[in-house]
Chains A and B, each alone.
Chain A
Amino acid sequence: MHDHESTSFVLVGVGGQGTLLASNILAEVGLAAGFDVKKSEVHGMAQRGGSVVSHVRWDRKQVFSPIVGRGEADVLLAFERMEALRFAEFVRPGGTAIVNEMELVPITVSAGDGIYPPPSAVEAAFAALDARLLLVPGERLASEAGNVKAANVVLLGAISTLLPVAEEVWWDCISQRVPKKFLALNHAAFAAGRASAA
């Protein structure tokens, strides 16, 4: 996909989906794998159901800006389908979009002020960007692993297949972030995510 000397990620989703935990783990994996890393996000209104964006950057030498510019993300990891569309411009030409097949209908739609875009809109958008699109049924795979809330770990499993980092490093970092009693569940979710992207 690219030279692996540096990788810029943009993670998007909706407040409450576990986007921030996933970006924390992604940053920690980068550091553990010997990269310089930076992560940036905006909290505040996030838990009130708004869009959530976080940026993670890895570089073998040094990361300067904590923010990824438009058209500069190697990977867009979208936890929700419409948010993938909203932030599509972040993906660089030839980059990758991993999109969770989850629809969270915003109140503007239920109030009749807009229409939720069809799945084909996502395909068209990333085709126009010449980006690789990987659809992951995160919630379904997480449910099968034991808990629908582990969808964020499924998505990390999917993204892990794109990166030059040993699987053990991912597992180590995830283990440190999740409660012990959910360890087996999260490992199953991670493995399912990896398999879905293979």
Chain B
Amino acid sequence: MRRILSGNEAIARGAWEAGVHVAAAYPGTPSTEILEELSRFPNVYCEWSTNEKVALDVAVGAAYAGRRALAAMKHVGVNVAADSLFYASYTGAEAGLVVVSADDPAMHSSQNEQDNRRYAQFARVPCLDPSDSQECKDYAVLAFELSERFDSPILLRTTTRINHSSTPVELGERVEVKPKRAKFPRDAAKYVMVPANARGRHPVVEKRMAEVEAWAETAAVNRVEWRDRAVGIITCGVSYQYAREVFPTASVLKLGMVHPTPKTLIRTFAAGVKRLIVLEELDPVIEEQVRLLGIECEGKSIFPLCGELDPTVVRETGTRAGLPVDRPPTDPVTVPRPTLPGRPPVLCPGCSHRGVFWMLKKKKVAISGDIGCYTLGFLPPLSALHFCGCMGASIGVAHGAAKAGIEERVVAVLGDSTFFHTGLPALVNAAYNRSNVLTIVLDNRTTAMTGHQANPGSGQTLQGHPAGVLDFEAVCRGLGIQNVQTVDAYRNEDLEKAFNALMATNEPAVLIARRPCALLPDVRRQYVPLEVLEEKCNGCGVCFKIGCPAILKSEELDPASKKPLALIDSTLCTGCEVCAQVCPHDAIPSRDQMRLLEDDGAARPIQ
């Protein structure tokens, strides 16, 4: 049966067909749907781990226990998990172990565009690089087989255009793989990586990679497609599709395994063509391997290193380099149009982060931010975030600045899921080393940015089982932080009062701003839109400055100031009342006030 699957759905399907028993991940675009999809299949344990390193350790443990296991993460997640990837490369396992790295060229949803094929070289693990959903599924199955055959973790590396493109896939059935052992292995020389044992393992790893390379020379995943021999293109991943589209007459060496590279096959292909081209996204990984063989080739001298490729870019750059394109690039047509206003992603109507950033902006404090929806707090009109680097960095950076002795107090802001991910060790550090960092946890009870995945604060697991809810306050007090307060993130006054009290101390402090994400199903059912009282609004514009998409400029002008009045879009407003608390003219009644007004008929909200 053929079905259209995204790359992520196909990887999940492949892992399931291959008999995977355990899978773990931390959500991250473009990898998230792999575990979401896999968790719906029977006979596989799936979990959201607290971070990518934990996820990989979980998968390693399962593979040591003789069960096929998978860990999935976005490219920067592999940085977090790198320590584990390297020991797992040395130990191997008792059953297949597959690590999925979803890279994000063009940074659609990431802070950098690192090329994780480098990790395969670095950690000495074989790397498969599929070019459509069918290959995603096939390579997932193959990865488990190779992992067991060569006793190595396998890196299944994808890019956004593979993860989030959908192509037809031939479905298969699950092949149950019997667990390979009943007990945890007791083999110190293989699994206890102290120096004496690790020294024994390193040559094993190098020998293994030579064996994989020999396999790769004749493997079906690496194939030569002979066409015209004037130009030969070595390519992999989604770039293969662009090569076929734009250079239909060229010969192609398609590498499904990008590490280790098949040296003899490359030499043979190079000898068979007049002009050798390497077409790959991001780093010149294959190009460098070709050059190391002493073979001249062109790659990054033609195609860009930054950003993602597409047929237009490949056709334009290929034409300039004199390559045989399918047709000349289309002349860019200048479309006559006015300058268009941008449509940046914004904090949603009812977002529980809005009131916190509004307060922080007024306080003019330095804010060390983190990764999540709340990173959008840096955008105007709130403009209330001064640093964002990577997951969990907010607290450590704030602590470092504090210890450097700057004159102002630095506030660290991070979400609940990011707190569990890598914020916690940094908070332990701030508590232990006693800095006056004020940490604000934006606790919306979910991992919102990636689509509402459960976390240790949500009360349930990925596969829907009830779970304990981590008590932030108890954790902070357990760390020795005395100054901890929890407030409703929708209550502006309470937020400010708690903030002032915590800032009055010169010690580590934590403010937990709690309110479930406005997009969660239970919250959606309780929306009650607010309205603006036209007779009270004078167009002062304060409510426009909180950056709520539900607050519009009315066509009605204030008679005196000639400024537009505020208007609330009732289809977007959730009734969070943050704007009602901000309005200096009581022109936006709270729900309670609305009820009173309706009772005495004193005012009529505008329609």
Which bracket fits the contact residues of A? 35 or more
Q: What per-residue 1/0 map shows which CB atoms of B1-15 lie under 8 Å from chain A? A: 010100000000000
Contacts of B339 in A (CB 8 A): 114
| Cβ-neighbour of B337 out of A51, A70, A117 (below 8 A) | A117
A67 pairs with B342, CB closer than 8 A: no
Which bracket fits the contact residues of B? 35 or more
| Cβ-neighbour of A39 out of B4, B310, B332, B551 (below 8 A) | B4
A85 pairs with B551, CB closer than 8 A: no
Contacts of B132 in A (CB 8 A): 38, 66
B337 pairs with A124, CB closer than 8 A: yes
Contacts of A28 in B (CB 8 A): 4
Contact A109:B341 (CB < 8 A) given known A44-B30, A129-B335: yes
Q: What per-residue 1/0 map shows which CB atoms of B226-242 lie under 8 Å from chain A? A: 00000000000010011
A82 pairs with B341, CB closer than 8 A: yes
Q: Across the two chains, which residue of chain A brings its CB closest to B331?
A: A71
A89 pairs with B335, CB closer than 8 A: yes
B343 pairs with A66, CB closer than 8 A: no
Contacts of A47 in B (CB 8 A): 451, 519
Q: How far is the CB of A87 from chain B (nearest CB, A)?
A: 10
C-alpha spacing A14/B342, complex, angstroms = 12
B346 pairs with A64, CB closer than 8 A: no
Main secondary structure of the interface of A (DSSP, over half): mixed
Task: Report if A111 contacts B (CB, 8 A).
Answer: yes
C-alpha spacing A67/B108, complex, angstroms = 15
Main secondary structure of the interface of B (DSSP, over half): loop
C-alpha spacing A124/B341, complex, angstroms = 18
Q: How far is the CB of B59 from chain A (nearest CB, A)?
A: 24
Q: How far is the CB of A96 from chain B (nearest CB, A)?
A: 15
Q: Across the two chains, which residue of chain A brings its CB closest to B551?
A: A110
Contacts of A42 in B (CB 8 A): 108-109, 160, 164
C-alpha spacing A128/B553, complex, angstroms = 32
Contacts of A116 in B (CB 8 A): 341
Most chain A CB atoms below 10 A, which of B4, B108, B380, B553: B4
C-alpha spacing A129/B547, complex, angstroms = 36
Q: How far is the CB of A54 from chain B (nearest CB, A)?
A: 9
Contact A108:B344 (CB < 8 A) given known A37-B4, A45-B109, A125-B336: yes
B340 pairs with A44, CB closer than 8 A: no
Task: Report if A48 contacts B (CB, 8 A).
Answer: yes
Contact A27:B166 (CB < 8 A) given known A48-B376, A67-B310: yes
C-alpha spacing A42/B104, complex, angstroms = 11
Task: Report if A166 contacts B (CB, 8 A).
Answer: no
Contacts of B451 in A (CB 8 A): 43, 47
- A-B pairs with beta carbons under 8 Å apart, 18 shown: A27-B166, A31-B168, A38-B165, A40-B164, A48-B345, A48-B347, A50-B346, A66-B165, A67-B161, A71-B332, A93-B333, A107-B344, A107-B547, A111-B380, A111-B547, A117-B337, A117-B340, A128-B333
Query: Which B342-362 residues sit within 8 Å CB-CB of chain A?
Result: 342-348
Q: Across the two chains, which residue of chain A brings its CB closest to B240?
A: A64
C-alpha spacing A5/B132, complex, angstroms = 22
User: Which 4 A-B pairs have CB atoms at the shortest separation, nearest pair first?
Assistant: A114-B341, A44-B109, A48-B345, A69-B312
